[in-house]
């Protein structure tokens, strides 16, 4: 039986989920190694949820060190069908001000040191990623912002950079010239792996700074980000709670069938070891 239907990944500034009842902690082991931390399971607004602190409690794991595969696989193993991600981002546009929330619907990949797929080792699959976030989860996030009374913008392009250093001014201006909206270091791998795991995924991006391009603002620093995150943590938790409450019970999007036409490998050629490792994702198709 499913232990949770909705997963919440808390990013910088959100290391716990207020309002959970029937709380218990569970460590999940995966064929891809250890997730960032134990999962906090509980009830929120009458729904079973699983909370994970992306960087671990105490913020111990760099973006490039995150075991994205273990985190998403563990969500799947718990029975999660939808992931609500919360992330801190820098703004690449004047109109996205610190403390605003943006719900991105596109990504640009500027990472270079991460594993972004469950496949390989004898199984080849290519999922569609033209629409990288689940429209239902994204809409639920923006409606929840409205319900709570905070600025929550629908759509936008999230540049996912490797980090951990922030961007140079030349990079920041380049991303602006591409029309991108916000920049962060964590969301793209989660979105890719959630799609491969047939889990719906969207992010509520909390704007914390103007990166380093804005002449009227100091270049981004951690103390600036932390100050805005402290201001926003309460709103972020309120929006997540409202989104959980409003999430439709059943899925009508295509996320749950993302692998249906994606597996290219001749079923007879799939090595037993790979088949076993990915059974949780693939059993229904093999």
Ligand X SMILES: CSC[C@H]1O[C@H](OP(=O)(O)O)[C@H](O)[C@@H]1O
Ligand Y SMILES: Nc1ncnc2[nH]cnc12
Which residue numbers are catalytic? 209, 211
* 180 makes contact with ligand Y (CB under 6 A): no
Residues 207-266 that bind ligand X (CB under 6 A): 225
Residues 212-231 that bind ligand Y (CB under 6 A): 220, 225
Applying CB under 6 A, among 88, 236, 237, 278 the residue interacting with ligand Y is 88
Residues 178-207 that bind ligand X (CB under 6 A): 184-186
Q: Structure tokens of 285?
A: 């198709």
- Tell me whether strands 182-184 and 106-110 are parallel, antiparallel or unpaired: unpaired
The smaller minimum CB distance to ligand Y, of residues 30 and 186, is found at 186
Residues 86-105 that bind ligand X (CB under 6 A): 87-88
Applying CB under 6 A, among 209, 240, 263, 270 the residue interacting with ligand Y is 209
H-run or E-run covering 190: helix 187-196
The entry of ligand X, ligand Y, none near residue 63 (CB within 5 to 8 angstroms by kind) is ligand X
CB atoms within 10 A of CB 157: 19
Applying CB under 6 A, among 4, 127, 137, 183 the residue interacting with ligand Y is 183
Taking the alpha carbons of 41, 43, 49, 55 in that order, is the dihedral positive or negative?
A: negative
Long-range CB pairs of 39-45, under 8 A, 24+ apart, other chains included: 39/4, 39/74, 39/78, 40/16, 41/3, 41/4, 41/78, 42/17, 44/6, 44/17, 44/19, 44/20, 44/241, 44/244, 45/19, 45/241, 45/244, 45/245
Q: Is 219 annotated as a binding residue?
A: no
The smaller minimum CB distance to ligand X, of residues 43 and 162, is found at 162
> Coil, helix or strand for 270?
coil
Binding residues: 12, 54-55, 87-88, 185-186, 209-211
Residue numbers at the binding site for ligand X (CB under 6 A) = 11-12, 54-55, 63, 87-88, 163, 184-186, 225
């Amino acid at each position: 039986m499913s232990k949770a239907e909705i997963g919440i990944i808390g990013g910088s500034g959100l290391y716990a989920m207020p309002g959970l009842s029937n709380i218990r902690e569970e460590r999940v082991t995966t064929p891809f190694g250890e997730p960032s931390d134990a999962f906090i399971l509980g009830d929120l607004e009458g729904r079973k949820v699983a909370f994970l602190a992306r960087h671990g409690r105490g913020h111990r794991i760099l973006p490039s060190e995150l075991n994205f595969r273990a985190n998403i696989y563990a969500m799947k193993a718990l029975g999660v069908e939808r992931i609500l991600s919360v992330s801190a981002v820098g703004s690449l546009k004047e109109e996205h001000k610190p403390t605003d929330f943006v719900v991105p619907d596109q990504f640009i990949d500027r990472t270079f040191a991460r594993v972004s797929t469950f496949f390989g080792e004898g199984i080849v699959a290519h999922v569609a990623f033209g629409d990288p976030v689940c429209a239902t989860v994204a809409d639920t996030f923006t409606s929840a912002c409205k319900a709570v009374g905070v600025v929550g913008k629908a759509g936008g392009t999230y540049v996912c950079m490797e980090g951990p250093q922030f961007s140079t001014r030349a990079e920041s201006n380049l991303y602006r010239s591409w029309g991108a909206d916000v920049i962060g270091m964590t969301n793209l791998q989660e979105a890719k792996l959630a799609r491969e795991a047939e889990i719906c995924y969207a992010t509520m991006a909390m704007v914390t700074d103007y990166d380093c391009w804005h002449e009227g603002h100091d270049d981004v620093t951690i103390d600036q980000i932390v100050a805005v995150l402290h201001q926003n943590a309460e709103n972020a938790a309120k929006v997540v709670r409202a989104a959980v409450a409003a999430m439709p019970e059943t899925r009508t999007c295509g996320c749950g069938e993302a692998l249906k036409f994606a597996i290219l490998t001749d079923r007879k050629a799939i090595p037993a070891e790979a088949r076993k490792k990915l059974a949780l994702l693939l059993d229904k198709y093999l």
